[in-house]
């Protein structure tokens, strides 16, 4: 399966990337919301922040 890249995003809300898979997330902010990566797998984070 192809890896999807997410760069410099501001992610909000409940479970912003619920059940996400095969993701590389760079320089992004997870704000406001509970369990942003719940039930996700094969995720790589670099330079990300959880507020």
25 confidence band (pLDDT: 50, 70, 90): very high
Q: Are 17 and 23 in contact (CB under 8 A)?
A: yes
**Could you list the residue range(s) of the whole structural domain that residue 10 is in?**
4-50
Angle at 32 (CA atoms; ends 4, 15), nearest 5 degrees: 45
17 confidence band (pLDDT: 50, 70, 90): very high
pLDDT above 90 (res 6): yes
Q: Total structural domains in the chain?
A: 1
Q: Are 29 and 51 in contact (CB under 8 A)?
A: yes
Q: Are 44 and 27 in contact (CB under 8 A)?
A: no
Please indicate, yes or no, whether the overall pTM of this predicted structure exceeds 0.75: yes
Q: What is the distance between the alpha carbons of residues 4 and 43, in angstroms, rounded to a whole number? A: 10
């Amino acid at each position: 399966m192809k890896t999807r890249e997410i760069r410099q995003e501001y992610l909000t809300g409940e479970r912003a990337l619920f059940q996400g898979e095969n993701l590389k997330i760079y320089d992004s902010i997870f704000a406001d919301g509970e369990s942003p990566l719940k039930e996700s797998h094969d995720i790589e984070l670099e330079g990300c922040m959880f507020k």
